[in-house]
Amino acid sequence: MARSPVRELTQGNPLKLILGFAAPLLFGFLFQQLYSFVDTAIVGRYLGANSLAAVGDTGSINFLILGFCQGFCAGFSIPVSQCFGARDYGKLRQYTANAVYLGAALSLCMAFLATALCPVMLRLMNTPEEILPEAVAYIRVVFAGIPATILYNLSSGILRALGDSKTPVYYLIMASLINIVLDLVLILYVHMGVAGAAVATVVSQLLAGIGCVITMKRHFPILHLSAEDRVLRLGLIRELAGIGLPMGLQYMITAVGSVIVQWSVNALGVVSVAAVAAGSRISMFFCCVFDTLATTMATFAGQNLGARKLSRITEGLRSAGIIGIIYCVTTLGIILLFDRYLIGLFVNSTSDPEVLALACRYLRLNSLFYIPLLFVNIVRLTIQGMGYTQIAMLAGVFEMVARTTVALFLVPRLGFTGACLANPAAWIMADLFLFPCYFHVMHMVRQRLHEPKST
């Protein structure tokens, strides 16, 4: 008999459930970050500072385009998790089928547009001419692989909505190992340069997505679609787009601020671009815990809303906050003690000492503000998990305004230190919006469900 490894988050101790769900999910995010981590490390160590700067320079437009696709697909899992919490499995399968149709259309459109426009976007970002050819070569391959990215994010999101946070991890581990091998082969032996790192990432992502789909087909009877389930339903398509589009736009709006910051950093020269690339990669690796807790809270909130257990959502958010704060304090200590060794994974301290020093400054200043970042993630995804994606999208506007202000006014005056302050400013501004937003959303949900306020 086929097993059905789904997990309900509507009963039991929220803290234990969140830890149990998040633990395997964390490994998934870590290995997902390992893609870019390994790419950057191999490029920086073997191809040099200019190639490192070229790959790093693409980070903001990568976030702009792939972030939109990932956010859009993340929205598809919200009605799935709510239907699972309400035990409406027929509607769950209909949502799943129509999410596949919408995801396929999105992947083809985005791959075509992004691949065609990437040179224009890089020039608008004021990319230094000496790194422009390599930057185009890298990001064009990444954008051509958008269908693979969407395949993995869509399939893994559905699995997590059903409470299975382990299966995507298994395939990411496999894919990450393949990515490392392909990176070394394509860069060191095939001599493809930065394009080889991009090819390795796309191929690995594709294999992870295929693995998730095979597992869904073989081991999740709840997802076995009948002919009626597979019918294209325009009403569900509109509903999925209405949830996914604000989440995708939220990523894009946030990324616009990052693009403007990158534009200001590009004006500081290749050394600054390389330093931000190295510091960002280490920072993103540590930030996987925040993404993990946020994704956990989206599923937790979605299932408990479907089960009409609103008090558990607040209790779960409080538990995630406690876990995250302990982690933030621990991480700050690690970074302050070992930042030079961590940055040294990407930068040769002998040949590029200035890059190393600036990257350490970037990493330290960002890590001081990880607690605000924690709450940006968990509060926003909790709101989105309850279905209020349009309201949560506005937090991205606050982030964009903060980053743009720093890029236009602080970077010209403070130089590289100003660029280091862009992310902290954005996180604080987003929190100032998200906390009152959360209480407002809970009030609206209680009114809609006619549930009295819990004490």
One-character DSSP codes across 328-356: HHHHHHHHHHHHHHHHTTTS-TTT-HHHH
Instruction: State the Cα–Cα distance between residues 339 and 359, nearest whole angstrom.
Output: 9
**Neighbour tally for 267: CB within 10 Å:** 14
Quote the tokens at residue 380. Answer: 């926003």
Residue 455 identity (one-letter amino acid):
T
Helix (H) or strand (E) holding 75: helix 59-86
Reported as a pLDDT band with limits 50, 70 and 90, residue 66 is: confident
Instruction: State the Cα–Cα distance between residues 79 and 68, nearest whole angstrom.
Output: 19
Give whole-number Cα distances, 55 to 177, 284, 314, in Å. 20, 15, 40
| Mean pLDDT along residues 153-173 | 83
Q: Report the helix count and the strand count for the chain, using DSSP H and E.
A: 18, 0
**Neighbour tally for 156: CB within 10 Å:** 30
Reported as a pLDDT band with limits 50, 70 and 90, residue 6 is: low
Give whole-number Cα distances, 423 to 100, 173, 420, in Å. 34, 29, 7
- The structure's pTM equals 0.71
Backbone torsion region of residue 191, taken as left when φ is above 0, otherwise alpha when ψ lies between -120 and 50, otherwise beta: left
pLDDT digits (tens, 9 = 90+) for 338-392: 999 898 887 766 667 888 999 999 999 999 999 999 999 999 999 988 888 778 7
Backbone torsion region of residue 7, taken as left when φ is above 0, otherwise alpha when ψ lies between -120 and 50, otherwise beta: beta
Query: According to the model, what pLDDT value does residue 312 have?
Result: 92
| Helix, strand, coil percentages for the chain (3-state, nearest 5) | 85, 0, 15
Query: According to the model, what pLDDT value does residue 351 have?
Result: 66
Query: According to the model, what pLDDT value does residue 3 have?
Result: 45
SS3 assignment, position 318: helix
Q: Check whether 87 has a pLDDT greater than 50.
A: yes
Terminal C-alpha separation, the chain: 45
Considering the chain, what percentage of its residues have pLDDT values greater than 70?
94
Q: Check whether 453 has a pLDDT greater than 60.
A: no
Q: Check whether 112 has a pLDDT greater than 60.
A: yes
What backbone torsions phi and psi does residue 162 show, to the nearest 5 degrees? Answer: -90, 5
pLDDT digits (tens, 9 = 90+) for 207-256: 999 998 998 888 888 888 888 888 888 888 998 888 888 778 877 887 78
Q: How many CA atoms lie within 13 A of 97 on its CB side?
A: 21
Query: According to the model, what pLDDT value does residue 5 have?
Result: 55
**Neighbour tally for 436: CB within 10 Å:** 9
Give the angle subtended at the CA of 145 by the CAs of 143 and 148, to the nearest 5°.
Answer: 135
Q: Check whether 412 has a pLDDT greater than 70.
A: yes
With beta carbons less than 8 A apart as the criterion, state whether 64 and 259 touch.
yes
Query: According to the model, what pLDDT value does residue 451 have?
Result: 57
Instruction: State the Cα–Cα distance between residues 168 and 155, nearest whole angstrom.
Output: 9
What residue segments make up the domains of the chain, in order of their start?
Answer: 14-449
